[in-house]
Amino acid sequence: MIRQWEGGEIPGGVPTESGWHKLKLVIVGNQIRAYFDDNELADCPFTYAGTAQGFFGVYVFKMAGTDSILCDDIVVSEEVGVEENIYSSNDIVLNVSPIPATGNVSIDYSLPKKTDITLKVYNIQGQEITTLYTGYRDAGTYSTVWEKRDLAGGVYFLRLSTDYGEQSRRMLVLK
């Protein structure tokens, strides 16, 4: 066994209801980062000298309160070079209109590659006002509308966060 995480080390705790969860391993050299539902697990990164070509390991996940166990072999069949940061925040296109806004705000954005994204609105003090979208997106162009009901006039910020960077836009909202 390389590493085992107990309930308190898993963000949100051990799942108590059936459902899909994502376990992601990022291995660079002998450094391993593990993520559960996109949250980095405790003690990451950690070092393991056995990350060479060939058999890597068997991972077992037991769902709390059930007899269900999922096993999966992870095998490194060949060494593959990893290009890090081949995309940056400069590759994200984010447009907001109209500015200043008196009604709904139209938000258009383009992504150069598939990624997990979060699209949020913040007030001038940096407090989150709303999350417009969080999830996975393929490469492409997307549009959404921010229906800013019962919102005071002022300056707000739209932040688009991806796996390879962030873009922000300042928005002036008039009452």
Same domain as 158, residue 132:
yes
Same domain, 50 and 109: no
**Number of domains observed in the structure of the chain:** 2
Q: Considering only residues 149 and 96, tell me which one the structure prediction assigns the higher pLDDT.
A: 96
| In a domain? residue 82 | no
144 and 76 Cβ atoms separated by less than 8 Å? no
Task: Based on the fold, state whether residues 39 and 114 are members of the same structural domain.
Answer: no
Looking at the fold, whether 126 and 104 belong to one and the same domain comes out as yes
DSSP 8-state assignment for residue 101: B
pLDDT of 14 over the 50 cut: yes
* Region class of 65: left (phi > 0), else alpha (psi between -120 and 50), else beta: left
Dig out the tokens for 124 from the structure: 């001038």
Is there a contact between 45 and 31 (Cβ–Cβ < 8 Å)? yes
pLDDT class of 135 with cuts at 50, 70, 90: very high
* Cα 169 from Cα 77, distance rounded (Å): 43
Residue range 153-164: average pLDDT? 90
pLDDT at 58: 47
Range of lowest pLDDT (24-38, 79-93, 94-108)? 79-93
61 near 70, Cβ under 8 Å?
Answer: yes
Domain ranges, residue 38: 7-76
Percent of the chain with pLDDT over 90: 20
pLDDT tens digit sequence for 28-76 = 767 777 777 778 888 888 777 665 544 444 455 555 555 555 555 555 5
pLDDT value at position 54? 46
Omega within 30 of 0 (cis) for the link into 112: no
User: Is 168 inside any structural domain?
Assistant: yes
- What's the rounded Cα separation, in Å, for the pair 111 and 142? 8
Local structure of 88: helix, strand or coil? coil
